Amino acid sequence: MQSKGLIKFLVIVVSIACLYSLSFTFVTRKVESDAANYAKGDMAKEKAYLDSMAGEEVYNLGLAKFTYREAKAHELALGLDLKGGMNVTMEISLDELIKNLANNPKDEKFNAALTSAVQKSKSVNKGVVELFVDEYKASGAGTPLASFFATKDNSSLIKATSSDNEVRSFLSKESDNAIQNSYKVLRTRIDKFGVASPNIQIQQGTNRILIELPGVNDEARVRKLLQGSAKLEFYETHSNLQVYPLLENVNNLLASSLKSNAPAAAAKKDSVATDTTKKDDNLLANLGAGKNEKKDSTAVSPEVAASNPLFSVLNPAVYMEQNGQPQLLPGPMVGSANLKDTARVNAYLNRPEVKANIPGNLKLLWAVKPEQRTPNMLSLYAIKLSGTETGAVMTGDVVTDARDNFDQQNNPVVSMEMNTDGARQWRKVTAQAAQNREAIAIVLDGVVYSAPSVNEEIPNGSSQISGSFTIEDTKDLANVLKAGRLPATAKIVEEAIVGPSLGQAAIDAGVNSAVIGIIVVMIFMVAYYNRAGIAANIAVLFNVFFLMGILASLGAVLTLPGIAGIVLTMGTAVDANVLIYERIREELRLGKGIRQAIADGYKHAMPSILDSQITTFLVGLVLFFFGSGPILGFATTLMIGIITSLFTSIFISRLIFEYMLDKDMKISVSFPWSANTLQNANFQFIKKRKVFYAISVVAVIIFVASIFTKGFTLGVDFKGGRTYTIAYEKPVNLEEVRQHLDETFKSTTEVKTFGSENQVRVTTTYHIEETSDQADKEVLDKLNAGLSKISGNKHEILSSQKVGPSIATDIKDRAIWSGIFSILIIAGYILVRFHKWQYSVGAAIATVHDGIILLGLFSLLDGLVPFSLDIDQHFVAAILTVLGYSVNDTVVVFDRIREDLNKPGAHSKNFGDVINHAINTTLSRTVITSLTIIFVLVVLFIFGGDVIRGFSFAILIGIVVGTYSSIILAAPSVYDLGRGKHITEEKKEVAKVVTP
């Protein structure tokens, strides 16, 4: 084996990297376990404990040290279906944006074109902006489109003489800005909400933002938080010198109040802040807190904390003079607190006795994020309230443009432009602030993004904001400033809520299926391949370890379909080993020694291994680009699993064999009972192909008839609506539940058993077009009213999902395209590898056959089996996976045909005999590989839980059908497409004839 040293080095490096990536998960789980033990079921205490640990060092690697928050960011996070929480898809209202950019015109044709564009966008794969411009042009309107948008606010961006294409470009750019700004606002709001490991991403090519909030159980608060309009305001500020005496009075007031009020209770309440104290630096008494801005409440003694409650958690804004004396910093920043202490500061400032002493024109607001030099400290600013309703001197609607830029010294700055009214106000505000070099605070949603000092009056509305900015800071601030100019509402169009109980059940099911799956595969490999099976098992364990490590390093979120992908990967991980072992057995039958047989077995199996795995990987790519939510997790796991499977099967198992050979250990690749399995198989597949064709045609006709007559039950993500999973205390009658819900909703309701007889899944299209909170509440109230009619049987809603009709159409379109692209990509790859169209068409026939059979089975068996057979995103993932594995088997047969045709004298043989021989010689590999995957899928089906039972059933049936089509349809189709003639170049044979 060449490069053995390099491979060993790679194995060691990858193992260390994976162990490093997974170590963060172990550390955070330990901290969270300690929090749970400390809280003993009190969620508020548990959260307070974790908040207190946020900035604490929990992981020390010598050169690198990590706080709990930093370790949490590197852990392998659990998805909603495993942890419980909320999944929301926000849609930015681009029609509202277009109206605002045009100052809400009353023109009938303008509004009709916009209404039509919004309606068409729900059924076609085209954006609102594109459709609007096309619809307006088609309306025959006499008013140029540009005239609506050439307002004074847009004067620098669009003219009245601009063409329709220029308007299209302008609207597209503004739409992108609105989406990016909405993303920024939502990101900030969620960060303030305090969700651990949130996942927020823009769905590329759409006006939607996907948000996953693990562990959230206050759905109403989340909806209100996410759907509120962005509020950008400009405020005057107080100086630190003015506010510090007030803070000192507050500190003294708190010390007196807490001491006289309830010292015992106060001591208990402040235990997190004081019980870990080890020393008293007397920092607060002389403002020495400025010596170390990273100091927090855990570094303050109980005595100092008791006499300085506020200053024990809020460090005054000071600097040290050359003589070592602390002085108050100029500017509006009045202090800083450790992130974990900000809630304590807020609690102190909101106490009635404190609020009574804070002037009406003072408001204390936190910065949006810590500064780079103090990553755990958040600054507090003193905001001056004016006489307006909100206290702001200006609002963000006056900003016409903002962009990140660089000044003459090449430092990052933000350039800002205002409209005429804004420029007039800005001149007045900046003139007043410049007199005393005061700052103007830029506030969005109640947090301070920047508070630049004003050096001089700004007369024309064009400003440059500078500071200790990074390039990212200026980009963010520019987006924030533009958010006030682009008022586009973000609405929830899809929503899924998973209760913690369902999440824990899903975790248990996933872990059980994974563990049992590993055990089943390992037992089978040893039972069939003897000592070689042990080598394969070691490779499988390495494979799982590498897979988990890579997922953690990529920041992937582990979902239940992701666990299904891991379980499937364990089944397919032995695929390459099976190919190699079957070839080794063939070489041994030719009389070769074990060392040579191993070398040739690896060599001859390599083309089939690569071709079969690459086709499946390509399907994973299609799933990755067309899927969303949990399907992305499945696709990611599948693709990474294929890569790690190849690495472990080809290299690690080979290293084990080399070690055994060097130690003169006996290597066996079979037991006596398994040595000759299907060895002399000589089934006449080509001769009997028409019988099999007839069977397949009859099956296809039956299933197509079922598809067109009975149809499918579409999942909520394909048809829209709301779905709820409900658990009753006792088993319920489905018809009774359905009848009560139909009466309540005044429409047909879908009710199915979900797992056990006391759990049901309810789907309703009531208020499908409405996504407001009021509509959600009305549907939920009606649902509970209908469910409560089952007397003497209490119910609990475990999870819910909401999908609007527009996003359902989009998901359905993406599913259809993903299926088409998968078949085309697979056919294209086979054409490139085998150079003949007959192979591509043969593989396509088999894959289309498998797809129809699987769709037909889901149609025919729907309602007849005790689990859900809905057609949804999970089914799409399943059917594409089946197509990938089907082609996997097909390619192995094709590789053997190609290999046999390249042997001397092959072209003198009947082509049908060559194909028949290829199918028979690969039959043992096909059967054994399918069996290992089927074993794993049966485990997944039984133990994987109700959530993915339909998913695992689809793949299980698909593997059986795919194995059948690979043997019976694919290669025989190649024979008939080639009209029974050889379809490879015969130049070598011709050369041999001509030479004599």
Radius of gyration for the chain, computed over Cα atoms and rounded to the nearest angstrom: 34
Tell me: pLDDT of 357 over 80: yes
Mean pLDDT on 2-9: 79
Mean pLDDT on 680-708: 90
Residues 632-689 have pLDDT tens digits of: 777 888 888 888 988 888 888 888 888 888 888 888 888 888 777 777 778 888 888 9
Instruction: Assign 801 to helix, strand or coil.
Output: strand
Instruction: Find, among 816, 893, 880, 815, the residue nearest to 854 by Cα.
Output: 880
Tell me: pLDDT of 232 over 90: no
Residues 361-415 have pLDDT tens digits of: 899 999 888 877 777 788 999 999 986 777 888 888 788 888 888 888 888 888 8
Query: Between these two residues, 825 and 948, which has the higher pLDDT value?
Result: 825
Q: Check residue 75 and report its DSSP letter.
A: S
Residue 980 pLDDT level (bands cut at 50, 70, 90): low
Highest mean pLDDT among 54-68, 426-440, 686-700: 686-700
Query: Between these two residues, 995 and 154, which has the higher pLDDT value?
Result: 154
**Residue written as token pair 């948000």:** 211
Contact in structure between 897 and 915 (CB atoms under 8 Å): yes
Tell me: pLDDT of 824 over 80: yes
659 shares a domain with 539: yes
The answer to whether residue 356 is domain-embedded is no
Residues 219-231 have pLDDT tens digits of: 776 777 677 666 7
965 shares a domain with 834: yes
Contact in structure between 716 and 809 (CB atoms under 8 Å): no
Contact in structure between 180 and 426 (CB atoms under 8 Å): no
**Integer Cα distance of 912 and 260 in angstroms:** 99
Q: Check residue 310 and report its DSSP letter.
A: T
CA 116 to the chain's CA centroid: 33
Structure tokens at 463: 């400003």
Residue 986 pLDDT level (bands cut at 50, 70, 90): very low
841 shares a domain with 957: yes
Q: Determine the structural domain holding residue 545 and report its residue range.
A: 499-665+684-709+810-990
Instruction: Assign 425 to helix, strand or coil.
Output: helix
The answer to whether residue 823 is domain-embedded is yes
Q: Check residue 85 and report its DSSP letter.
A: E
35 shares a domain with 9: yes
The answer to whether residue 615 is domain-embedded is yes
Q: How many Cα atoms within 13 Å fall on the side-chain side of residue 317? A: 21
30 shares a domain with 172: no
- What is the model's pLDDT at position 587? 87
Burial class for 105, CB neighbours closer than 10 Å (0-12, 13-18, 19+):
middle
With a CB cutoff of 8 Å and minimum separation 6, the contacts of 337 are 296, 313, 314, 315, 344, 345, 377, 378, 380
The answer to whether residue 624 is domain-embedded is yes
986 shares a domain with 889: yes
Beta bridge partners of residue 57, listed in sequence order:
67
Residues 518-571 have pLDDT tens digits of: 888 888 889 888 888 898 889 888 988 999 999 888 877 777 777 777 777 776
H helix intervals, 229-283: 240-261, 263-269, 271-274
- What is the model's pLDDT at position 869? 84
Mean pLDDT on 969-990: 68
* Domains contained in the chain, number: 4
Residues 433-459 have pLDDT tens digits of: 888 788 999 887 788 888 888 888 888
- What is the model's pLDDT at position 285? 39
- What is the model's pLDDT at position 694? 94
Instruction: Find, among 336, 195, 338, 193, the residue nearest to 273 by Cα.
Output: 338
Domain boundary among 47, 75, 103: 75
Q: How many CB atoms lie within 10 A of CB 796?
A: 13
Mean pLDDT on 902-909: 75
Helices (H) and strands (E) in the chain, counts: 36, 25
Range of lowest pLDDT (202-216, 531-545, 608-622, 884-898): 202-216
The answer to whether residue 547 is domain-embedded is yes
Instruction: Find, among 459, 571, 467, the residue nearest to 517 by Cα.
Output: 571
The answer to whether residue 353 is domain-embedded is no
Tell me the Ramachandran region of residue 497: left when phi exceeds 0, alpha when psi lies from -120 to 50, beta otherwise.
Answer: beta
Tell me: pLDDT of 284 over 60: no
Contact in structure between 556 and 76 (CB atoms under 8 Å): yes
| CA–CA distances in Å: residue 82 to residues 85, 245, 508, 511 | 9, 51, 9, 11
Mean pLDDT on 42-69: 80
**Amino acid (one-letter) located at 330:** P
| CA–CA distances in Å: residue 55 to residues 222, 342, 731, 996 | 25, 12, 48, 85
Tell me: pLDDT of 704 over 90: yes
- What is the model's pLDDT at position 264? 44
Domain boundary among 803, 838, 860: 803
753 shares a domain with 615: no
Residues 558-586 have pLDDT tens digits of: 777 777 777 777 767 777 888 888 888 88
Residues 713-753 have pLDDT tens digits of: 887 777 778 888 888 888 888 888 888 888 888 877 888 77
- What is the model's pLDDT at position 808? 65
10 shares a domain with 158: no
For the chain, give the percent of residues with pLDDT over 70. Answer: 88
Structure tokens at 973: 């189709």
Average pLDDT, the chain: 80
Residue 247 pLDDT level (bands cut at 50, 70, 90): very high
Range of lowest pLDDT (1-10, 53-62, 285-294): 285-294
Residue 246 pLDDT level (bands cut at 50, 70, 90): very high
Mean pLDDT on 247-252: 91
The answer to whether residue 704 is domain-embedded is yes
600 shares a domain with 508: yes
Range of lowest pLDDT (294-303, 640-649, 776-785): 294-303
Structure tokens at 727: 């658990």
Tell me: pLDDT of 702 over 90: yes
Q: Is the dihedral of CA 352, 356, 361, 367 positive or negative?
A: negative
Helix %, strand %, coil % for the chain, to 5?
60, 15, 25
589 shares a domain with 520: yes
**Element containing residue 169 per DSSP (H, E):** helix 164-193
Instruction: Find, among 951, 873, 493, the residue nearest to 721 by Cα.
Output: 493
Residue 191 pLDDT level (bands cut at 50, 70, 90): low
The answer to whether residue 392 is domain-embedded is no
Mean pLDDT on 47-74: 81
Domain boundary among 803, 830, 847: 803
- What is the model's pLDDT at position 282? 38
- What is the model's pLDDT at position 267? 41
Burial class for 700, CB neighbours closer than 10 Å (0-12, 13-18, 19+):
middle
165 shares a domain with 21: no
With a CB cutoff of 8 Å and minimum separation 6, the contacts of 857 are 703, 957
Pairing, β 57-60 against β 65-67: antiparallel
| Domain at 748, CATH number | 3.30.70.3400
632 shares a domain with 574: yes
| Domain at 905, CATH number | 1.20.1640.10
